[in-house]
Structure 1
């Protein structure tokens, strides 16, 4: 009678105890980063939806106008996408008679946005959005902003400072280029709007001064400690704030939290994958979901690439 001996177990290069400890650390990292950055998670989630949908958490009173109610107006004569494309092509052929211009039949003409107008009456602002596809419209009535910027020294619009600080910066550009091995005689064009902000007093009244280096324009408004934004506009502004100013201030600190959110989102993805893989019973279904995710993301990636290529937005 013979007995088969079980093959000796080979020791794992990474002991189970160490592996468990590492996974526990990853779980804690996943958890505590999420808890610390929870306000930013809520902020970017909510304000991202607000940017995508103007009617979400609105500060304005929105009224819908059905297409049938606009049928007797000039809006009834507005051409659809195909008609307007033909009109544009006809104008192009007239402007360039020696060229052959034809529309691509594989790409239907598409409008990018509503046609919007603004009307101000007193302290109330109205926005009118006309949908060129279904011919409907919606009107937004914005409440009066209780934190408006009140101008001071209205007689001052632009300042001429000698020597001109913007010209000093412009004259420095060739030197900066030369130190990077670039020699160019091309025209130097301004990029962006650098501003100098500071607080001052005008006749003992605190004011906020914003000086635009590019053209010397200056805004002087009374300073009351208010930001001039409605609550919705303020939170949307936080969502879109980006870049790092040259000074250490709260905006620059905010940019560090944006970096932290970027790192955290990648960390959550990686640690989430590791934690999912540790639960064997979820591997099959999770693998299917992950495969669908990759296919969907790739489809959207190439679809958006095509959209931007055809619209030049």
Structure 2
């Protein structure tokens, strides 16, 4: 007689693996990369074009440019090229004459930074002379300053209206105890910034139903305006560069608030495009070797150019920004009262290499 034995319990079947989500993630990265590029297309065009216009401010402007070569400039004015090494050497001589013991560093490369700009206003124009000290040449640019006059001049333009209750002086008086009450250390009560006065903007109608765009500065009390239907006077170049430097969120919601928002989004998305571009490039295996070379070159150039620019920006006694606008520059030392210091003969200036040689 056979005995039936129960079947051994079978092991549970392995659970199906969850599908790999990597392709799905890359699909969303590609879609986001593409559609955000379409959504932010106007902002990318504005920032790109206006960024170029900063280096080429005369494009699209009514400017006549005249180059004055070194020979002609010297013949007319006697202006000769200026050697930065000679200026540095003479400066160190003067510092040593005042009691210092300095010498030029051998690795130093004296050079001029910035531009030598002279202005000469004319009838309806502004003449700008930019001198290249190293070459002894100059560029004379004549820029028109005449704006198309509106059909109507605002009869109130240039008036000064005092509204004591809303003036910056009244705001200063009201906020005088603020920092003390908040236990914020300060040497004085808050004072209005030269650039911090708000401007009131509104439209009004006169007796002839003419609409006016009116501005009122709460700091100076100056009233200005133009007809609401007047033609715009700013060129495309000026409009684009003004858009580029427009920053901060205004206190009231409106188109300028939205502009600031999209400027933020554009900045964040530029970073996203760079990173997502790396991911998409890595998916294309045939391009990896060439891409690694291009990426290495880009990183090397970026470190050299950006790093060198940052070093140059901080070469002098750069002051930390203290508020709206640039940081204050150090004030010159006052001469001691009643003290006359005999001028010492200028000491010879040498470089480190010359000092070591002697």
Q: What does residue range 134-173 of structure 1 map to in structure 2 within 5 Å?
A: 134-143=135-144, 145-147=146-148, 152-153=155-156, 156=159, 158-163=160-165, 165-171=167-173, 173=175
Distance in structure 1 (CA, Å) of the matches to 2:16 and 2:268: 32
1:218-253, Cα deviation, whole Å (9 max, x unpaired): 142433444431221111111111111112232222
- CA distances 1:60-119 after superposition (whole Å, capped 9, x unpaired): 23232222221213352463323333454455566xx24445444433332222322333
Residue of structure 2 in register with 1:283 after alignment: 288
Q: Which of these residues, 54, 58, 70, is aligned with residue 73 of structure 2?
A: 70
Following TM superposition, by how much is the alpha carbon of 1:272 offset from its aligned partner in structure 2, in angstroms? 0.7
Deviation at 1:30, TM superposition (A): 0.7
Task: Point out the more displaced range, 20-29 or 171-180.
Answer: 171-180
Task: Give the corresponding residue for 1:298.
Answer: 303
TM-score, scaled relative to structure 2: 0.71
Alignment match, 2:113: 112
Larger Rg, first or second structure (1 or 2): 2
Greater relative CO, 1 or 2 (CA 8 Å, sep 6+): 2
1:92–1:202: structure 2 CA closer, same or farther, 3 Å change rule?
A: farther
One of 210, 215, 220 as aligned partner of 1:210: 215
CA distance, structure 2, for counterparts of residue 46 and residue 235 of structure 1: 8
Give the conservation status (yes or no) of the 8 Å contact 2:82–2:134.
no
Q: Contact 1:209 / 1:218 at 8 angstroms: preserved in 2? A: no
Deviation at 1:54, TM superposition (A): 3.1
Unpaired stretches in structure 1, ≥5 consecutive residues:
1-9
- For 2:314, what is the secondary structure of its paired residue? helix
CA distance in 2, matches of 1:168, 1:113: 41
Which residue number corresponds to residue 259 of structure 1?
A: 264
Distance across 1 between alignment mates of 2:15 and 2:240: 55
Unaligned runs of 5+ in 2: 1-13, 319-358
State the match for 2:346 in structure 1. none
Look up the SS of the partner of 1:119 in the other structure. strand
What secondary structure, in the 3-state scheme, does the structure 1 residue paired with 2:32 have? helix
In the alignment, which of 219, 224, 230 is matched to residue 220 of structure 1? 224
Q: Is the 8 A contact 1:151 1:221 kept in 2?
A: yes
Q: Tell me if structure 1 keeps the 8 A contact 2:117–2:131.
A: yes
Corresponding residue SS for 1:126: strand
CA distance in 2, matches of 1:116, 1:13: 72
Matches within 5 A, 1:237-276: 237-276=242-281
Find the partner of 2:49 among 46, 49, 54.
Answer: 46
Does the 8 Å CA contact 1:49/1:56 hold for their aligned counterparts? Answer: no
CA RMSD in angstroms, aligned pairs only: 3.3
Q: The residue matched to 2:75 in structure 1 has which SS?
A: coil
Partner of 2:19: 15
CA separation of 1:75 and 1:177: change in aligned 2, threshold 3 A:
farther
Task: Check whether the contact 1:147–1:229 (CA below 8 A) recurs between aligned residues.
Answer: no
Q: Secondary structure at the match of 1:62?
A: strand
Could you tell me the TM-score, scaled by structure 1's length? 0.79
Task: Give the C-alpha shift of residue 275 in structure 1.
Answer: 0.5
Note if 1:131 corresponds to 2:132.
Answer: yes
Match of 2:33 in 1: 30
Partner of 2:9: none
Distance 1:63 1:218 in 2: 38
Matched residues in 1 for 2:176 and 2:269: separation? 40
Alpha-carbon separation, structure 2, partners of 1:291 and 1:180: 52
* Greater per-residue helix proportion: 1
